[in-house]
Amino acid sequence: MPDIRTASSVGRRGLLAAGGALGLGAALAACGGGKSSGGADSASDGASPKAGPWSFKDDRGVVAKADRTPRNVVAFIGTAAALHDYGIECKGVFGPTKKKDGSPDVQAGDLDVDKVTIIGNVYGEFNVEKYAALSPDLLATEQWQKGELWYVPDKSKAEITKLAPVVALEASQTTMPKAIQRHEDLAASLGADLKAKKVTDAKAAFEKAAARLRAAARARPEITVLVGSASQDLFYVSLAKTSADTAYFQQLGVRFVTPKVDKQGFFESLSWENVGKYHADIIMMDNRSSALQPSALAGKPTWKQLPAVKAGQVVPRVTEPVYSYAQCAPVLDALAQAIEKAKKVS
């Protein structure tokens, strides 16, 4: 995995994977509803796959096709975790799946990581031979930069994409509800029952959590939130409107710190000496295993002096959400609770 400390040499794509870009984001867009037209041949009731040819138009505008509904699905770990929540199980996964101690990475959601074949666990790692051995009939991943397949290495991309149809779902130029809808569309095309009680209950919980966050933001307009990510040498402050999750939170009324972003437009890099440049009441910190967590920052005096840190108002940020209602509802609830309980310290 490219190290956040050498971000200047790995480029934006590598930096995103390493954690420094805080999740390359979405332009602020209205939250969408209703069924998308992406799943061209998905069953009308979403309960079972159709017999005969299968196709799905992904968020690159590419139509993936197969003679039958794919069964041997291999996916980026976050995509696989979302499909799992709709009852679609993947045979193999790639991307941050297990931590060094063997426990599931945060991006695995509720997926049982011991029941899938891991063909790559870090950025730049993708075992093509192991992938081919799974006899894949679909590769599913995210799109964080236009036309690029998330965690599919460029050096072996041509070889990988020859083995099975590929679907890429937008993870940046979108909002959380729209991203969930597209993952749901794909799941339905693969045979998911979108009317199952587990699915409808999760959607109701998401809508309730969104209403709670909207109410919390309205009741506490004085509370300001900073979105951060830490490396050993730098602290990154994200621009809220350039990430699918925080863009949606902003739509719901949450007030965010607005950093002076670099020319790429997504975040500002600060030295630890300047970490206090922005005043915030709550700090949301990148929870990915590739980023330093708050517990590792105790030795940085400037971090400890931040008002939000002193007040104990540092909360995790799910930087790469698993786009299902089941996984995103708790994210909304957690931020709502943080805002409801926050003291004004900035």
Distance CA 271, CA 297 (A): 13
Strand-pairing partners, residue 255, are 224
- Rounded Cα distance, 145 and 11, in Å: 12
What letter does residue 108 receive in the DSSP assignment? Answer: G
Residue 201: C-alpha distances to residues 160, 176, 208 (Å): 37, 18, 11
CB 80 within 8 A of CB 91: no
Listed residue (39, 110, 41) closest to 80, CA to CA: 110
Whole-number Å distance between alpha carbons of 149 and 126: 12
Helix (H), strand (E) at residue 13 = helix 7-18
Taking only the tens place, the pLDDT of each residue in 190-219 is 999 999 999 999 999 999 999 999 999 999
Q: Helix, strand, or coil here: 256?
A: strand
Give CA separation, 224 vs 254, 280, 307, 312, 315, in Å.
Answer: 8, 5, 12, 15, 13
In whole angstroms, what is the distance from residue 45 CA to residue 23 CA? 34
State how far the alpha carbon of 247 is from the alpha carbons of 22, 24, 87, 111, 135, in Å: 13, 11, 28, 26, 38
Distance, in Å, from the CA atom of 326 to the CA atom of 152, rounded to the nearest integer, reads 26
Among the listed residues 251, 253, 228, 250, the one whose alpha carbon sits nearest the alpha carbon of residue 240: 250
Render each residue's pLDDT in the chain as its tens digit; 346 residues. 223 333 433 454 555 554 444 433 333 233 333 333 344 333 333 345 566 799 999 999 999 999 999 999 999 999 999 999 999 999 999 999 999 999 999 999 999 999 999 999 999 999 999 999 999 999 999 998 888 999 999 999 999 999 999 999 998 889 999 999 999 999 999 999 999 999 999 999 999 999 999 999 999 999 999 999 999 999 999 999 888 899 999 999 999 999 998 887 889 999 999 999 999 999 999 999 889 999 999 999 999 999 999 999 999 999 999 999 999 999 999 999 999 999 999 9
